[in-house]
Amino acid sequence: MKLIIGGQGKMGSLLKETAQNLGHTVLANVDTSNLDVLDTLESADMIVDFSHRDNLNWIIDYVNAHDCALVYGTTGLDADQKAQLVTLSKTHPVFFSANYSYGVAVFTEIMKVAVPMLKDSFDMELVETHHNQKADAPSGTAKAILEIMNPNGEFKEVYGRHGLIGPRQKEIGVHALRGGTEAGEHTVHFFGDNESITITHHATNRQIFVNGALKAAIWLEGKPAGLYGMPDLLGVNQA
C-alpha cells in the first residue's frame, strides 16, 4: 500500500520504519508544519495517524479529496472531532481505536464480561500510567475502559481524591500517573468484601501499537465505508 503517515514525531517515525520493513510505500510523514508536501505526492491508499488532533482537519480533507481509507489512533479528541470521524466513515472506511494493542483489545473484552457481574457488589477503580511527555489525561484507552465500566452513567466518576472526602459513595475512581518513559499501563481494581480482583495490561514498548495499527491498515484495505475498531480486527463482531 501507499501510505501517508500523520506526524513526524517518535510514533510517526516508528510507523514509517515498520511500514517500510513490511513492504509498504510511505509517501511522506505529514503534519501541519509541512502540508505543502501533499501537493507533490501521488495519491495515497491510506492515511495512518497517531499524531495530534490538530491534524484532523487536513486528514479529513485529504481522505475526501483522494477517496482513501484512514487508520486513526490519535487521542484527546473533543466531541465535535469524534463526530467528524463518524461522518467521514459514512463515505469512507475508517478504523478508529484509542489503543492498537492486541492485549488491550482482549483486556476490554474481558471487562465487558466482568463489569456486569461485579459492579453491584465490588468497588471499581481505574488507574493508568504513561510517560512524562503524554499530553492528555486520562488516556484515551482509560476513557474507553471507563465507558465499559460506566455505560449508563450510574456511577459518579471521581478524578483523583484529596481532602476530607468521607466514606466512598457510588463512584469509580480514575487516576492518571505520569513519569519516565512508561509506554502505558492500565489497571482496573475490583474491591469486594475480603477479596479483590485486579486486571492489568502493561505495555513495554510503543512497537506493539505500531504493529497493531499496521495490522489494522492491512485488514482495512478494500473494506467498504464504515467505522471499524479492534473488535472487528479480532473477529469479535462477526456473526
Which residue in 134, 175, 215, 223 is the catalytic one? 134
pLDDT class of 98 with cuts at 50, 70, 90: confident
End-to-end CA distance of the chain: 29
CA distance 234 to 78: 27
List beta partners, residue 156.
171
Confidence of residue 238 (pLDDT cuts 50, 70, 90): low
Structure confidence by residue, pLDDT tens digits, 108-132: 999 999 999 999 999 999 999 999 9
Separation CA 155–CA 97 (nearest Å): 24
Angle at which helices 207-220 and 102-118 pack, to 10 degrees? 90
| pLDDT score of 5 more than 50 | yes
Is 16 catalytic? The answer is no
Cell 513490511 sits on residue = 22
Q: Which long-range contacts (CB under 8 A, 24 or more apart) does 74-83 make?
A: 74/6, 74/49, 74/50, 75/136, 75/139, 75/140, 75/141, 75/143, 76/135, 76/136, 76/140, 77/53, 77/140, 78/53, 81/53, 81/56
pLDDT tens digits, one per residue of 182-192? 999 999 999 99
**Is residue 232's pLDDT more than 50?**
yes
Active-site residue, from 16, 24, 130, 201: 130
Q: Using one digit for the tens of pLDDT, what is the confidence trace for 194-231?
A: 999 999 999 998 899 999 999 999 999 999 999 999 99
How many Å apart are CA 86 and CA 94, to the nearest integer? 8
- pLDDT higher than threshold 90 for residue 173: yes
Question: Measured between alpha carbons, how far is 71 from 229 in angstroms, rounded to an integer?
Answer: 9
Active site residue 186: no
Burial class of residue 189 (count of CB atoms within 10 Å of its CB; 0-12, 13-18, 19+): middle
State how far the alpha carbon of 146 is from the alpha carbons of 7, 107, 173, in Å. Answer: 28, 12, 10
Instruction: Kindly state the average pLDDT of the residues 135-156.
Output: 94
The residue count for the chain: 239
